[in-house]
């Protein structure tokens, strides 16, 4: 059995910006793209290798979409004490939704750790008639 992930004090995430961007690709069933800018901050005394993420998107009706994967925008950032990693990506939704999640990693000695992604709201613009 693999060890459980634990919160590493000092490893944190900030949601720096979220905005609607209709120029991003989207599907007919999820036509509303929202770009988000995220920063992962390592203020712990340990080096952390971030290897994955999990997003939970939940709309007002309770419909949930889980997005999991390896790396962060195709990278596996290694954050030494005092370092940060910033990136942007986007989610596509069909109705007002909330996004939250976590980044997963390991310390240099192999301890599995995670940092929560603060939740943020995404509200599509009103439909133009």
Q: Is residue 1 part of a domain?
A: no
Terminal-to-terminal C-alpha distance of the chain: 56
Residue 125's alpha-carbon distances to 20, 66, 113, in angstroms, are: 8, 23, 37
Instruction: Report the CATH number that the domain containing residue 106 is assigned in CATH.
Output: 2.60.40.1470
Q: Is residue 70 part of a domain?
A: yes
Q: Is residue 64 part of a domain?
A: yes
- How many C-beta neighbours within 10 Å does residue 32 have? 20
User: Where in the sequence is the domain holding 72, given as residue range(s)?
Assistant: 6-120
Q: Is residue 78 part of a domain?
A: yes
Burial class (CB in 10 A: 0-12, 13-18, 19+), 103: buried
Question: Could you tell me the pLDDT band of residue 3, with boundaries at 50, 70 and 90?
Answer: low
Question: Could you tell me the pLDDT band of residue 31, with boundaries at 50, 70 and 90?
Answer: very high
When divided into structural domains, the chain yields a total of 1
CA angle 80, 16, 122 (to 5 degrees): 135
Model confidence over 37-89: pLDDT tens digits? 999 999 999 999 999 999 999 998 889 999 999 999 999 999 999 999 999 99
Instruction: Say how many residues make up the chain.
Output: 129
Strand arrangement, sheet containing 11-20: 11-20, 32-42, 84-93
Q: Is residue 60 part of a domain?
A: yes
> How high is the pLDDT of residue 1?
43
Q: Is residue 13 part of a domain?
A: yes
Question: Could you tell me the pLDDT band of residue 126, with boundaries at 50, 70 and 90?
Answer: confident
Q: Is residue 80 part of a domain?
A: yes
Q: Is residue 128 part of a domain?
A: no
Q: Decide the pairing of beta strands 112-122 and 6-7.
A: parallel
Q: Which residues pair with 11 in a beta bridge?
A: 42
Q: How does the average pLDDT of the chain come out, rounded?
A: 94
């Amino acid at each position: 059995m693999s060890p459980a992930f634990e919160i590493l004090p000092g490893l944190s995430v900030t949601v720096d910006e979220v905005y609607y961007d209709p120029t991003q690709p989207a599907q007919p069933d999820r036509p509303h793209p929202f770009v988000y800018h995220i920063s992962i901050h390592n203020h712990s005394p340990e080096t952390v290798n971030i290897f994955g993420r999990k997003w939970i998107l939940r709309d007002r009706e309770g419909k949930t979409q889980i997005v999991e994967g390896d790396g962060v925008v195709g990278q596996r950032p290694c954050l030494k004490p005092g370092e940060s990693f910033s990136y942007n990506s986007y989610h596509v939704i069909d109705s007002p939704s909330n996004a939250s999640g976590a980044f997963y990693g390991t310390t240099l000695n192999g301890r599995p750790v995670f940092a929560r992604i603060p939740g943020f709201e995404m509200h599509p613009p009103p439909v133009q008639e």
